[in-house]
Structure 1
Amino acid sequence: MPKVRAFNIRGLGRFPSNGMVKLTSLLNEIPGVSATTDDHGIFGFEYVTNLADACIAAHKSGRLIALHGHSFGANAAIMIATRLAKRDIAVDYLAAIDPAAQFALSVPLNVRRVYNPYQTIDPVGRGIVMPAKGESAAHWKSRAVIERRNQLHVRIDDDATVHRTIVNAVKALTA
């Protein structure tokens, strides 16, 4: 059985997200990783509950959880992590790739490592994740890497450096 279950959540609607599909393929090449490309739903984020349930099942079977999302998918990943926090389930790695800034971006304390590549070229996205309420600056700095990328919103999820960072982090979870 794979050691890590990775969920790669697409952005707006069900539009093709080549970057997330490519990331899934890269992650599935790592021994001990099972990755899927998932949808969050539309504006109601209606699949968040189902994805959280899948994370709970993975946790119960002894797997580590990695959540990666682009745009609204990044917001969905944070929502899922928040649901898992209420059940005391850890998220071992969360990559919030240029989340939509208009939604809550506070990352709960059950997330062990956070990666947040974002861009400021386009008016969409631009989401910079924030620490959990009451979290010290030192603790936040120890678990979060926030990185501005010179990339368009629709291309940042296909950025080779972003993929390499995520692949290396997930690979480290299998050690």
Structure 2
Amino acid sequence: MILALKIKNKNKMNSFQNRKLGVFSSFLFLLITISMSGCVDLSGGRASEKRPIPKIAQSVFHKSETQNNGKTTSKTVKVSKSQPYHGEVHTMLGGLGLFSTGMRTLSDTVIEECNIPAPSDMWYNAGNVTRSIATYYQKHQQHRPIVLVGHSLGANEQIKVARNLDKMGIPVDLLVTVDAVSQTIVPPNVKHAMNFYKPGYVPMFSGLKLRAVNPEQTRIDNINVTTLKGIEVNHFTIDKDPVVQAMIMEEVKKVLSNANQEKG
């Protein structure tokens, strides 16, 4: 009887171990398949690669707005290289940081072209980002524009950062989310939210539209990238697309240059 129970328990353990091995093998096979198809860069080697943003992409957003509205009077802001900028930009990577390398590229571009602070952090450092912004804001009477940008989990956490800043009475001039997969409610301290998303069948990798707590205080632009010409992306590549990068930079520069105009 005892021997039979031991054999039965051993069979159960073997069955459980086989199931674990099967799940792991399936996950490993899926990861290898995605990697080979070019959707995922597992090397991390492109993390610091700087890709130039094509000039032709600078006006894509305004052109699409004009076509959608049937008007030919879209307003664009031309900013010369010699014009100073004022503000701070915080970019945030999702996942393990292997896929959201476009956030680092964006930070590098902001630093190079605007000469302002543009730190890039992982999504799990959202608390540190909040404290850094709040500390500077509370120590300086002259407040500078705050811009938050994030991809995937980084986008989710940037919304949380904005929410935490709202509790402290700190405004966010621009929030840019790229394929956020949750946390889609934007707090009222955000003046403008720009959301790039691509709908999909897998909830974990499907971008969502944003909604404002108070639409009268927050302007939200939900941009479905499948409607933009020349863009072929998925959840893992959307943040690195040159057109998306250019559209984000254009809006960032508007916020930073308008701040200087207001300063006089």
Q: Same fold (TM over 0.5)?
A: yes
Indicate which of 67, 73, 77 corresponds to 2:158: 77
Aligned to 2:135: 57
Aligned to 2:238: 156
Runs ≥4 in structure 1, deviation > 4 angstroms?
Answer: none
Instruction: Give RMSD over aligned pairs.
Output: 2.0
The structure that is helix-richer by fraction is 2
Amino acid at match of 2:198: Q
Q: In the aligned structure 2, how far is the partner of 1:127 from the partner of 1:58?
A: 32
Report the CA distance shift for 1:147/1:116 in structure 2 as closer, same or farther (over 3 A). same
Indicate which of 87, 93, 103 corresponds to 2:168: 87
TM (norm. structure 2) is: 0.57
Structure 2 gaps, min length 5: 1-84, 227-232, 258-264
**Does 120-129 or 17-26 show the bigger shift?**
120-129
Deviation at 1:16, TM superposition (A): 5.0
Indicate which of 95, 108, 111 corresponds to 2:187: 108
Equivalent position SS for 1:34: coil
Structure 1 gaps, min length 5: 42-46
Equivalent position SS for 2:155: helix
Q: In the aligned structure 2, how far is the partner of 1:25 from the partner of 1:37?
A: 9
Report the CA distance shift for 1:71/1:166 in structure 2 as closer, same or farther (over 3 A). same
The structure that is strand-richer by fraction is 1
Equivalent position SS for 2:246: helix
> Greater Rg, structure 1 or structure 2?
2
Higher relative contact order (CA 8 A, sep 6+): 1
Check whether the contact 1:98–1:118 (CA below 8 A) recurs between aligned residues.
Answer: yes
TM (norm. structure 1) is: 0.84
Number of residue equivalences: 163
Amino acid at match of 2:225: R
Q: In the aligned structure 2, how far is the partner of 1:83 from the partner of 1:64?
A: 16
Check whether the contact 1:4–1:32 (CA below 8 A) recurs between aligned residues.
Answer: no
Spell out the pairing of 1:23-38 with structure 2 (5 A cutoff).
23-38=106-121
